Amino acid sequence: MGLEDKAAKMIRTVVEVLEPQFAVRLWSGERIGPDGGPELVINDPLVIRRIAFRPKLDSVVEMWVSGQIDVQNGNLFDLAALGTKTKLKHRLKDLPKWQLVADLPAVLFGRPSEDSRLSGRNPFDPGSSKEAISHHYDISNAFYALFLDKGMVYTCGYFTDWSNSLDQAQTDKLDHICRKLRLKPDERLLDIGCGWGSMLIHAAKHYGVIGHGVSLSEAQTALARERIRAEGLEDRITIEVKSYEDLDGVFDKISSIGMFEHVGSARYESYFSTVDRLLKPGGLYMHHAISRRAKRGKKAFRRKSAEHLALVKYIFPGGELDHLGMSIENLEAHGFEVHDVENLREHYGRTCRLWAERLEARFDEAIKEVGAPKARLWLLYLTGCALAFERGTVQINQTLASKRVRGPSGLPPTRADLYR
């Protein structure tokens, strides 16, 4: 029995035990499992070899990116929704391990498989750097335009109704933040990690602020400046390719929307000290950031899941997530008073799902723009993020704080103005 026959036999055995609610189609065309519906397609018998040598999530990611595994008659969301009849960890113990081991040598010593171009060690250190930011954000502005809203907002939307469009949700999110910051005409607003300039443009157009942004992405900044010129806002908004740590001056309000994840825990002290230095006494700061759930101890929290490690390796090099309590502790320790925390987890789940669906709908264009491996990686990433937020694996919170002063904060007595 040759390599392909042995590999097919092993896959049949695993499928029979795990009982997935979707079919598995082999490279030979053989179909295993229920009729109809989505299929997990295995295009290369050497996936068994790869998993045997590297039984990690990395291997699955790289097999997906290379096209060794794929989905037909549906998408990744469909496979995730169907799953298996019982929990995977309960089924794994029922696998006939000795039978699988007996068939493994033929697979292990078959023809060599090409390593994915994404294999290898993570070259980025924890914390943001220009190289790490470029890895994620300087892919192609045209690529991001395929799945983002028309305002190019690459952060969690805000759905006042779950049926709202992505464009509406992102406009509502920007306005929600502007209201939380109680922006007023001619106030100086700093947006840390300003991306394609959406927050600054919205705040200048609708609230009359004087905006300044910083970013480490050359590609994003170039497009942001074009968009500012198109809006006729060059006299109201400036953007620099610069680290927030190198900024001078004092601002009335500061926003940080989806940027803090890149800072890295080793630089939290510097980050919060810098925000404190740049914000006027009594000024408001919006801390919009993804977080992980807290654990019973710091040691347990420092342990990262396989999904988290893969995300950092392939998508957000150098990124780290704190927990909500850590954010609040750091804010209070650096001279801030926390006024409001809003959990937007389900909003981000909905946002990421829409991004993934929009990217899939224009997938041929995405491949032409960035190549099949990168397009497949981003589709996997957006789908995984959607599922993580929907299932509560990760959180996202908007935390409003002010630079502490003695006496009244100056904020309204209720939140009614936020939800007009």
**pLDDT tens track of the chain, all 420 residues?**
567 887 888 788 878 777 788 999 999 999 998 888 999 999 988 888 777 777 788 888 889 989 999 999 999 999 999 886 555 555 555 555 545 555 555 555 555 444 433 344 443 344 444 444 344 445 789 999 999 999 999 999 999 999 999 999 999 999 999 999 999 999 999 999 999 999 999 999 999 999 999 999 999 999 999 999 999 999 999 999 999 999 999 999 999 999 999 998 899 999 999 999 999 999 999 999 999 999 888 888 888 777 767 766 776 666 788 999 999 999 999 999 999 999 999 999 999 999 999 999 999 999 999 999 999 999 999 999 999 999 998 999 999 999 999 999 999 999 988 886
Please check whether residues 283 and 236 belong to one and the same domain: yes
**In which residue are the tokens 């097999």 written?**
63
Residues belonging to the active site: 385
125 lies in a domain?
Answer: no
Please check whether residues 243 and 386 belong to one and the same domain: yes
Please check whether residues 101 and 145 belong to one and the same domain: no
- Split into its structural domains, the chain has a count of 2
Per-residue pLDDT at 115? 42
Please check whether residues 188 and 68 belong to one and the same domain: no
**Alpha carbons 83 and 24: distance in angstroms, whole number:** 12
Please check whether residues 87 and 188 belong to one and the same domain: no
Per-residue pLDDT at 94? 55
Please check whether residues 147 and 40 belong to one and the same domain: no
124 lies in a domain?
Answer: no
DSSP-assigned beta bridge partners for residue 414: none
Per-residue pLDDT at 99? 54
Please check whether residues 154 and 72 belong to one and the same domain: no
Length of the chain: 420
237 half-sphere exposure, CB direction, 13 A CA radius: 28
Please check whether residues 175 and 31 belong to one and the same domain: no
Please check whether residues 376 and 316 belong to one and the same domain: yes
169 lies in a domain?
Answer: yes
Q: Which of 260, 249, 130, 252 is nearest to 192 (CA)?
A: 260
117 lies in a domain?
Answer: no
Running DSSP on this structure, what letter comes out for residue 291?
A: E
Please check whether residues 320 and 368 belong to one and the same domain: yes
Q: Which domain holds residue 322?
A: 130-419
- For residue 242, what are its two tokens? 């610069």
- For residue 11, what are its two tokens? 């896959």
135 lies in a domain?
Answer: yes
Please check whether residues 192 and 238 belong to one and the same domain: yes
113 lies in a domain?
Answer: no
**What is the CATH number for 140?**
3.40.50.150
Per-residue pLDDT at 88? 53
Per-residue pLDDT at 123? 39
Are residues 180 and 255 in contact, defined by beta-carbon separation less than 8 angstroms? Answer: no
118 lies in a domain?
Answer: no
- Residue 329, judged by CB atoms within 10 A of its CB (0-12, 13-18, 19+), counts as middle
Please check whether residues 168 and 104 belong to one and the same domain: no
> Which of 78, 108, 138 is the last residue in one of the domains?
108
123 lies in a domain?
Answer: no
